[in-house]
Structure 1
Amino acid sequence: MPTGLVALLDDISVIARAAASSLDDVSAAAAKAGSKAAGVVIDDAAVTPSYVTDFTPDRELPVIMRIAKGSLFNKLIILLPAALALSALLPSAITPLLMAGGLFLCFEGAEKLLEKLGAEKIGETLEDAPADVTAFENARVSGAVRTDLILSAEIMAITLSSVATESLLNQGIILALVGIAITVAVYGAVGLIVKMDDIGLHLSEKSSALARKIGHFLLRAMPVLLALLATVGTAAMLWVGGGIILHGLDELGVHGPAGLAHDMQHAVEVATGPLGGILGWLTYAVLSALVGLVLGAIVAGVVHLIAKARGKH
């Protein structure tokens, strides 16, 4: 074999090994970054079912699919290029933008809580018999995609901070991998949750006694689970939004609020021994949620005042 060809094949082999190693590094970095965003992923999965619980069974999966497509659009078309551009050109703008998104989550969570406590509703539910069901569905999907944009921005920001030392190309690949994987996981889980009652009904009609027992259990459990998820979703908006605000203030040099919350978390961890990790995290989550509730209630109050003022003209 000619020497030149041997050298060329050897060079190709080296390049192939380097490419394979690079792919392994990217995969490992994507897995690490995705695991760091797990908390926000859980919040996302808890929030989303509340957007589809009002629909008839035949519209649940189509609505979830529409929201999932919107989520992919958020992550890959809006947030990925924006994250890379901000990382390269204006990294100082990332924290204020995340805080603005966190404030929106606080508003959404506070508004839902106030509605549950009897405050005047903004918007319709299917129980209100909307005149145009299609328009209502479109509005509900738009609301879910807007909320997803904030949660997705937090996921992408956490991912970006985990791979800051990677090249711009690798950052883009990792952000895309994490975005796609998380979207599939979240909305696959949401689809399974909201259709679990249909699965239960199907099993309850089987000839097997065990299958019928499982089916009846699912039918009884799903309304409770959906109600619980709706509550967790509202709480998640508040604690994620409040947490973003606390972290953002700390990043901008206002250390007091976040420092106090972390001090209280640490005190609980020390005082509770083996349960310190869980109870410490819960303490910080509750404090973040209280911050989110106060800020969100203020924003909700302003929004309601503006809406009433416009209604008077």
Structure 2
Amino acid sequence: MAGGLVALLDDVAAIAKLAAASLDDVAGASARAGAKAAGVVIDDTAVTPRYVVGLAPQRELPIIGKIALGSLRNKLIFLLPAALLLSAFAPWAITPILMAGGAFLCFEAAEKILETLIGGHETEQAAAVLDARQLEDRQVSGAIRTDLILSAEIMAIALSELPDLPIATQAIALALVGIAITLGVYGVVALIVKMDDIGLHLAKRASAIAQIVGRGLVKAMPVLLRVLATVGTAAMIWVGGGIIVHGMGEFGLTALPDGIHRIAHHAAEAVPVAGGVVNWLVGAIGAAIVGLIVGSIIVAVLYLLPHRKAAH
């Protein structure tokens, strides 16, 4: 009896060790995958606030809540099963899908730059004829569609960091990454869009320091939104270009990736005090140049085709 109990306890201990090791694998995999997807997360955080600008202040948080729920649905119901199927049956397709998504990010960034240069008022004019409910529904659906692309990039990038793990570990790691990133992104977005309300509340306090901080937050809000728009565009170009460059290397087209790497390496050697920073910065600039070129080509093609059809 005692021997059987000892054997049972040994089995339980072995199972506990295996479970602990599995949890360590999941935690480590989730951390690696989340870190690799950080560039797209920056873009997601920078892009989302524009979907609530101009709407009623009391609807800002409910709208962000709707977008966050849509983002979770995108990640956990649609993208997670698709990612696991790809990992199990077509791992070779992950890189092309990543490159296609990277090209889309480059296109969106280039289109934003073009609209900034030539002006894009059609959307604002169209919004003027919608009532508040229609405008809110349109903004939410547009944000969720954009999130689907960004979430697909996040899940694909995360999956690329989990190639040799069991499918159950991949599933848990991807789910954790998806939930953590969604909560983090939309939590930060909620703080950003309510920053002016927080500032107004502080400005009404009796404390002079609170009033100064509150007025500073209100004045900083439009500046922050402009900075976020610029950062979001830059992040899309950098991330999209980097994905394309990395994918080219995966397909054996190493001339461009190796060229960027060599330039970054030589630049880092020229500034040994900050070699690591310089190496990363030059590599990011190289990826951004590639992204801008790819995005500009796609924009040119898509903008020229309607004109050619109209001419015919």
**Could you list the per-position Cα deviations for residues 208-241 of structure 1 after superposition, in whole angstroms to 9, with x for gaps in the alignment?**
1111111111111111111100111111111111
Distance 1:25 1:241 in 2: 29
Query: Which AA in structure 2 matches 1:21?
Result: A
Mapped partners of 2:16, 2:180: distance in 1? 26
Mapping for residues 51-200 of structure 1, pairs under 5 Å: 51-120=51-120, 124-125=123-124, 129-200=128-199
Q: Is 2:46–2:228's contact at 8 Å kept on the other side of the alignment?
A: yes
Q: Match of 2:28, as an amino acid? A: A
1:31 corresponds to which letter in structure 2?
A
Worse-matched range after superposition: 273-282 or 208-217: 273-282
Q: What does residue 300 of structure 1 align with?
A: 299
Q: Using the alignment, how far apart are the partners of 1:291 and 1:143 within structure 2? A: 27
Partners in 2 of 1:206 and 1:71 — Cα distance?
37
User: Deviations for 1:82-124, whole angstroms, at most 9, x for unmatched residues?
Assistant: 1111111111111111111111111111111111101555x51
1:117 partner SS: helix
Alignment check: 8 A CA contact 2:240 2:291 kept:
yes
Query: Are residues 196 and 310 of structure 1, via their aligned partners in 2, closer, same or farther at CA, if it must alter by over 3 Å?
Result: farther
Pair 178,256 (structure 1): closer, same or farther in 2 beyond 3 Å? same
Please give the alpha-carbon distance, in whole angstroms, between the structure 1 residues aligned to 2:13 and 2:186: 41
Residue 255 of structure 1 and its aligned partner are, at CA, apart by: 1.2
1:127 Cα shift? 8.8
Q: Deviations over 1:270-298 (max 9, x none)?
A: 22222332233222222222222222222
Considering only aligned residues, what root-mean-square deviation do their CA atoms show, in Å? 2.4
Pair 1:251–1:133, CA change in 2 (3 A): farther
Inter-partner Cα distance in structure 1 for 2:294 and 2:131: 33
Decide which moves more: 241-250 or 21-30.
21-30
Instruction: Note closer, same or farther for the CA distance 1:52–1:285 as it changes in structure 2 (3 Å cut).
Output: farther
In terms of mean alpha carbon deviation, does 196-205 or 68-77 score higher?
Answer: 68-77
Q: Distance in 1 between matches of 2:125 and 2:56?
A: 9
Matched AA of 2:14? V
Q: Is the contact made by 2:265 and 2:279 (CA closer than 8 Å) also made in structure 1?
A: yes
Name the stretch that deviates more: 286-295 or 299-308: 299-308
The CA deviation string for residues 181-218 of structure 1, in whole angstroms up to 9 with x for no partner, is 11111110111111111111101101111111111111
| Structure 2 SS opposite 1:137 | helix
Shift of 1:167: 0.8
Deviation digits for residues 106-162 of structure 1 (CA, Å, limit 9, x no counterpart): 1111111111101555x5137951334444433333333233223222322232222
Query: Given the superposition, is the C-alpha separation of residues 2 and 272 from structure 1 closer, same or farther in structure 2, using an over 3 Å criterion?
Result: closer
Identity percentage of aligned residues: 57
Q: Which runs of 5+ in 2 are unaligned?
A: none
Structure 2 partner of 1:220: 219
Deviations along 1:27-58, one digit per CA (max 9) or x if unpaired, are 23322332232233223222222333343322
Which one-letter code corresponds to 2:161 in the other structure? S
* C-alpha contact (below 8 Å) 1:47/1:237 kept by paired residues: no
Change (3 A) 1:110 1:132: farther
- Shift in alpha-carbon separation, 1:69–1:216, aligned structure 2, 3 A: same
User: For residues 9 and 143 of structure 1, what CA distance do their matches in structure 2 show?
Assistant: 56
2:34 is aligned with 1:34: yes
Separation in 2, partners of 1:132, 1:253: 53
Aligned partners of 1:41 and 1:245: how far apart in 2?
A: 18
Aligned equivalents of 2:17, 2:27: Cα separation in 1: 15
Given that residues 39 and 235 in structure 2 are in contact (C-alpha distance below 8 angstroms), is that contact kept between their aligned partners in structure 1? no
Q: 1:128 to 1:135 in 2, by over 3 A?
A: closer
Normalized against structure 2, the TM-score is what?
Answer: 0.90
The answer to whether 1:209 aligns with 2:208 is: yes
Quick one: which amino acid aligns to residue 48 of structure 1? T
Partner of 1:290: 289
In the comparison of the two structures, how many residue pairs are matched? 312
Matched, 1:251 2:217: no
Distance 2:95 2:233 in 1: 23
Q: Which runs of 5+ in 1 are unaligned?
A: none
Check conservation: 1:54, 1:125, Cα contact below 8 A: no
Q: TM-score, normalised by structure 1?
A: 0.89
Amino acid paired to 1:222 = M
On the 8 A contact 1:72/1:183 being kept in 2, the answer is: yes
Query: Which secondary structure state, in structure 1, belongs to the residue aligned with residue 123 of structure 2?
Result: coil
CA distance in 1 between partners of 2:208 and 2:216 (Å):
12
